[in-house]
Amino acid sequence: MKERSKIQKFKDFIALPLRAVALFEVNKWGLTSTQAERFEYAAKEVRGHCLDIGCGKYNLFVQKYLNGNGVGVDVFPYEGLTEKNVVASLENFPFPNRSFDSVTFIASLNHVPKELRDKELAESNRCLNPGGNVVVTMPCAFAGVLIHKIVAAYDSVFSTHYDVDSVRGMHEDEDYYLPDAEIIERLKRAGFRDITKKYFWTQWGMNHAFIGWKK
């Protein structure tokens, strides 16, 4: 995907409140959807063949933002996914060791039940080539909770299905967001090193990414 121009990024920055509450999943009104924006930031960190964990509807990140260079997996059969995308468990990935150059968790690690997060991150490390990286995007506490509540309320009033978490049902051990300290500690336990944090400035720093590396 072509990166946005500086002018477009400035417009998106100014219009963040509108973009956040309008809930559009595709770009419109001359503005970039927050989902597309998040994918763009994550795609800039991908180093090659990518495993996208918790890919969601239509496997959009791999198909549209990585031009098909990777595999998206999820445990829920969202609309637009094939048998290849839907796996029985995210604790044991159906891929050999050293199969990917990058692994991404785009707003998905918080939706892994607490007791499974370390196992899933360890599996992502196993599937990575040496020198590969993991990318974890996460909203801040305010954005994570507020946006989920707004989307859920919108779906309830207008009988829409924007909230994919409500579609599949939230597990009691899922969270709307994860604290930075927990993400960093879990990445370290899974064997990732040189972990850095990068803010999404066009989302006012309320969304960010952690990037860790496999030695």
**Cα 155 to Cα 148, 158, 190, 192, distances in angstroms:** 11, 5, 37, 38
Residue 1 belongs to a domain: no
Domain count, the chain: 1
State mean pLDDT over 101-129.
Answer: 95
Residue 100's H or E segment, with its range, is strand 100-106
Q: pLDDT category, 167, cuts 50, 70, 90?
A: low
| Distances, alpha carbon 177 to alpha carbons 68, 96, 136, 144, 182, in Å | 28, 30, 12, 5, 10
Q: What mean pLDDT is predicted for residues 106-128?
A: 95
Burial zone of 83 (CB within 10 Å; 0-12 exposed, 13-18 middle, 19+ buried): exposed
Higher local confidence (pLDDT), 164 or 121: 121
Q: Is residue 171 part of a domain?
A: yes
Residue 44 corresponds to which amino acid?
Answer: K
Q: What is the pLDDT of residue 95?
A: 95
pLDDT at 177 over 80: yes
pTM of the complete model beyond 0.85: yes
Query: Which pLDDT does position 19 carry in this prediction?
Result: 86
Instruction: Return the pLDDT at 150.
Output: 61
From 16-25, 32-41, 181-190, the region with the lowest mean pLDDT: 16-25
Q: Which residue range(s) make up the domain with 66?
A: 6-213
Give all strands of the β-sheet with 100-106 in edge-to-edge order.
70-73, 50-53, 100-106, 128-139, 207-213, 193-199
Helix axes 117-127, 180-189, angle to 10 degrees: 50
pLDDT of residue 184: 98
- Give me the CATH number covering residue 112: 3.40.50.150
Looking at residue 148, its pLDDT comes to 66
Q: Indicate the burial class of 9 (C-beta count within 10 angstroms; 0-12, 13-18, 19 or more).
A: middle
More confident residue, 145 or 65: 65
Residue 121 in domain: yes
Q: Is the pLDDT of residue 152 over 70?
A: no
Confidence of residue 168 (pLDDT cuts 50, 70, 90): low
Q: In this predicted structure, what is the pLDDT of residue 206?
A: 87
